[in-house]
Amino acid sequence: MENKTFTISVYSENNVGLLNRISGIFLKRHINILSLNVSESEIENVSRFIIVVDTTEKWVQNIVGQIEKQIEVIKAFYHIDEETIFLENALFKIQSNLLFDEREIQNIIKESHSEIVTVARDFFVISKSGQRNEIEALYDKLKPFGIMQFVRSGRISVSKEKMEISSLLETLSNQ
């Protein structure tokens, strides 16, 4: 089996220590987490972990099975990239004089569909949402001008197909 990029979605109660136990599952198998994001989900009082890994389908099936054994976990799913819609977000902090002195920076911002989120005396901040390769391309274009700070979020993702988590929770609450 060949390695692929998988997005694992984990729906769980929001309990202390769960993130540590989930990351331990990957550590035991020597699988690197490429991206991790935890947020509220569409279901009240339920958190959603989005974990991105590069591994085989056999390993991701094993990992999802182990994650689901955690008592706080309601359900875990995995998808390949073609089955999801996903984005990352990035912020770039640049010296403010460049915004006015280097016309090319304004062109880069416009062409990359980025936006300026703040301008201060000493710096300005550009925000970019998109796929990882789009953010990396913007980084490469801005790097020669000097990036003061850079940060990129983990992947956020929704599946193209309906996920049965809401139906599952309705069934559990009716019992």
Nearest to 139 by CA among 154, 106, 149, 120: 149
Strands 73-80, 4-12: pairing kind? antiparallel
Lowest mean pLDDT: which of 53-57, 81-85, 128-132, 158-162? 158-162
pLDDT tier, 168 (very low <50, low <70, confident <90, very high otherwise): low
Tell me the pLDDT tens digit for each residue of 106-132. 999 999 999 999 999 999 999 999 999
Report the distance separating Cα 173 and Cα 167, nearest Å. Answer: 10
16 alpha-carbon distance from chain centroid: 21
For residue 45, the 8-state DSSP code is T
Residue 32's pLDDT is what? Answer: 94
Residue 175's pLDDT is what? Answer: 57
44 or 85, which is more confident: 85
Would you say 165 and 11 are in contact if contact means Cβ atoms under 8 Å apart? yes
Mean per-residue pLDDT over the chain, rounded: 91
24 or 172, which is more confident: 24
Residue 14's pLDDT is what? Answer: 84
For residue 70, the 8-state DSSP code is S
Residue 173's pLDDT is what? Answer: 57
Q: What are phi and psi of 29, to 5 degrees?
A: -100, 5
